[in-house]
Amino acid sequence: MSNQDDKQKHKKRMEAQKAKVDERIAQATEERGILIVITGNGKGKSTSGFGTVTRAVGHGQKAAVVQFVKGTWPCGERDLLQQVGVPFHVMGTGFTWETQDKDTDIAAATKAWEQAKVWLKDDTIDVVLLDEITYMVTYKYIDLDDVLDALANRPKEQSVVVTGRACHRAITDLADTVSEVRSQKHAFDAGIMARKGIDW
Ligand code: ATP
Ligand code: MG
């Protein structure tokens, strides 16, 4: 095949592809916030959630973050985003990390969820990140129906990112975009320690 034929073929393929993309763009006419779930066992869920928050904030939008994590682990994204005015609620459970007191955990999860619900009703907030909330539902620390209700009835323009492993099917069913991060390998399994700036 001559170089000219090759170029012509490529051009045709590109045109056909562009027509398909244009058709899909034309079909996407609905404008509203979306519910995104980033789940699975691979690395990249929380970083994706924080990436979305950063993207929104970069456009001058408002974001809020609830971290449903035990303890107050250092977190580079939190340190940065708080500096630019993004409100955070960190669940934490303080001493109970050692004592594993279920009632204290439930109380902390409930408090974090109450704050999440305030933000999920606030139409001035463009993006809410509910980092690691999936575990709270799995442990039944917070009520699934209450979560579904708050997510479904949030302001129309608000987007929400849910992260965590094994997301409940009812939440992925409600979501608009669901990505499952599958682990092919993780440095930790090769004995490499978690790294500042990479893992937290
Ligand atoms: P990240 O915050 O890096 O995006 P993540 O949110 O996908 O990770 P989590 O399940 O929340 O993952 O785990 C948090 C910590 O565990 C991070 O330090 C991450 O690097 C590490 N981690 C994530 N996936 C794995 C894995 N498959 N094996 C071992 N450690 C992992
Ligand atoms: Mg995470």
pLDDT in tens, the chain (200 residues): 678 888 898 889 888 888 888 888 888 888 999 999 999 999 999 999 999 999 999 999 999 999 998 777 889 999 999 999 999 999 987 554 555 678 888 999 999 999 999 999 999 999 999 999 999 999 999 999 999 999 999 999 999 999 999 999 999 999 999 999 999 999 998 899 999 999 99
Is 28 a pocket residue for ligand 1 (Cβ < 6 Å)?
Answer: no
Neighbouring residues of 5: CB distance < 8 A, sequence distance ≥ 6? none
Q: To which residue do tokens 């990436």 refer?
A: 51
**Closest ligand to residue 77's CA:** 1
Cα distance between residue 151 and residue 168, in whole Å: 13
Q: Exposed (0-12), middle (13-18) or buried (19+): which is 6, by Cβ within 10 Å?
A: exposed
Is 43's C-beta closer than 6 angstroms to any atom of ligand 1? yes
CA distance 124 to 46: 23
The one-letter amino acid at 125: I
Ligand 1 proximity of 78 Cβ (cutoff 6 Å)? no
User: Which tokens in the block code for residue 114?
Assistant: 């109450």
Ligand 1 atom with least separation from CA of 40: 7
31: Cα within 13 Å, side-chain hemisphere: 0
**Which ligand is in closest contact with the Cα of 40?**
1
- For ligand 1, is residue 62 a contact (CB within 6 Å)? no
Superfamily (CATH H level) for 32-190: P-loop containing nucleotide triphosphate hydrolases (3.40.50.300)
Q: Evaluate: CB of 180 within 6 angstroms of ligand 1.
A: no
